[in-house]
């Protein structure tokens, strides 16, 4: 009997997945340690490590020092979503992106925005814009910008360049959070999107920071029919 060899980390990963699927290694069970698998597969331990680490990142395996590696009992599959620029998103659908700045002001934000950004009662730059796809309303953007950390933005003509385009190029963020939900269209949203009040809208709320300094909070309300999709 000739032992099969798995030279690449991908082939090792495939073999591990195969054993999980045929239930040779059922959910919750421990699998051999890296050193043993490397011997069995005829490859270096680093190669096994690379394969198993990727599976752990995908939620298929649970790995803990000393405790070893187990097949995840409840495979918490992870879906990865790309967050592109809206213009790129529209272009990827084969449509033409349009953009219109609807309102711009510097005012003290309402309490929910203050709480989210932690900027207190300091005035922020408030922007309201409509994105279109082949001239049809696509998404309403309601954005607050912490102008104290990006004062250059005061001098930008935001009717030709979107706020997000300027920000990604000029004010990189270190971290942020993003939330997805469904909301009934407000009167203003309904008007801008050309839909009835109360229609179900897919809403994305995103807040970003640069270190401890909040940069921007944006709410995107998509026209009905929008789907955010990805593979798992």
Partner DNA sequence: AAGTGGTCTAGACCACGTC
Partner DNA sequence: ACGTGGTCTAGACCACTTT
Binding site for its own copies (CB under 8 A): 17, 20-21, 27, 59, 73-85, 88, 168-169, 172, 174-184, 198-203, 206, 208, 210, 222, 224, 226-232
* Footprint of DNA (CB under 7 A): 7-11, 33-35, 42-47, 49-50, 52-53, 56, 63-69
Dihedral through CA 66, CA 67, CA 72, CA 73, nearest 10? -170
Q: Dump the DSSP string for 114-155.
A: HHHHT-TT--EEEEEEEEEETTEEEEEEEEEE-TTT-GGGGG
Residue 39 contact among its own copies, DNA, none, beta carbon within 5 to 8 Å by kind:
none
Contact indicator for 117, 109 with CB cutoff of 8 Å? yes
Least Å from the CB of residue 54 to DNA = 10
Q: Which is nearer to its own copies, 106 or 177 (CB)?
A: 177
Least Å from the CB of residue 39 to DNA = 10
Residue 228 contact among its own copies, DNA, none, beta carbon within 5 to 8 Å by kind:
its own copies
- 3-state SS class at 137: strand
Pairing of strands 61-64, 97-107: unpaired
Q: Which is nearer to its own copies, 36 or 152 (CB)?
A: 152
Q: Which is nearer to DNA, 13 or 216 (CB)?
A: 13
Give the whole-angstrom CA distance, residue 12 versus residue 208. 38
Both tokens of 190, joined, read 């309904």
Least Å from the CB of residue 9 to DNA = 3
Least Å from the CB of residue 224 to its own copies = 7
59 CB-contact burial (10 Å; exposed 0-12 / middle 13-18 / buried 19+): middle
Give the whole-angstrom CA distance, residue 150 versus residue 145. 8
Both tokens of 32, joined, read 């051999």
Q: Which is nearer to DNA, 43 or 124 (CB)?
A: 43
Q: Which is nearer to DNA, 39 or 105 (CB)?
A: 39
Contacting residues for 173 by C-beta, under 8 A, at least 6 apart:
208, 209, 210, 215
Least Å from the CB of residue 214 to its own copies = 14
Pairing of strands 30-31, 68-71: antiparallel
Least Å from the CB of residue 207 to its own copies = 9
Neighbours of 128 (CB within 10 A): 16
Residue 197 contact among its own copies, DNA, none, beta carbon within 5 to 8 Å by kind:
none
Q: Which is nearer to its own copies, 158 or 223 (CB)?
A: 223
Residue 105 contact among DNA, its own copies, none, beta carbon within 5 to 8 Å by kind:
none
């Amino acid at each position: 009997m000739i032992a099969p060899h798995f030279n690449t980390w991908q082939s090792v990963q495939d073999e591990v997945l195969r054993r999980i699927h045929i239930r040779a290694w059922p959910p919750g069970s421990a699998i051999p340690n890296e050193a043993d698998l490397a011997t069995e597969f005829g490859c270096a331990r680093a190669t096994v490590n690379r394969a198993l680490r990727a599976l752990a990142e995908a939620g298929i395996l649970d790995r803990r020092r000393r405790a070893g590696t187990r097949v995840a009992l409840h495979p918490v599959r992870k879906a990865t979503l790309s967050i592109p620029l809206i213009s790129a998103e529209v272009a990827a659908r084969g449509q033409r992106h349009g953009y219109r700045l609807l309102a711009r002001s510097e005012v003290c934000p309402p309490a929910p925005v203050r709480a989210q950004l932690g900027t207190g009662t300091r005035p922020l730059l408030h922007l309201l814009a409509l994105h279109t796809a082949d001239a049809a309303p696509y998404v309403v953007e309601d954005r607050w910008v912490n102008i104290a950390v990006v004062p250059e933005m005061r001098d930008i003509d935001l009717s030709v360049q979107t706020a997000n385009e300027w920000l990604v190029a000029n004010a990189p963020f270190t971290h942020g959070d993003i939330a997805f939900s469904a909301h009934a269209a407000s009167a203003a949203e309904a008007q801008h999107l050309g839909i009835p009040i109360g229609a179900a809208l897919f809403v994305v709320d995103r807040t970003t920071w640069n270190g401890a300094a909040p940069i921007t909070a944006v709410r995107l309300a998509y026209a009905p029919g929008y789907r955010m999709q990805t593979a798992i």
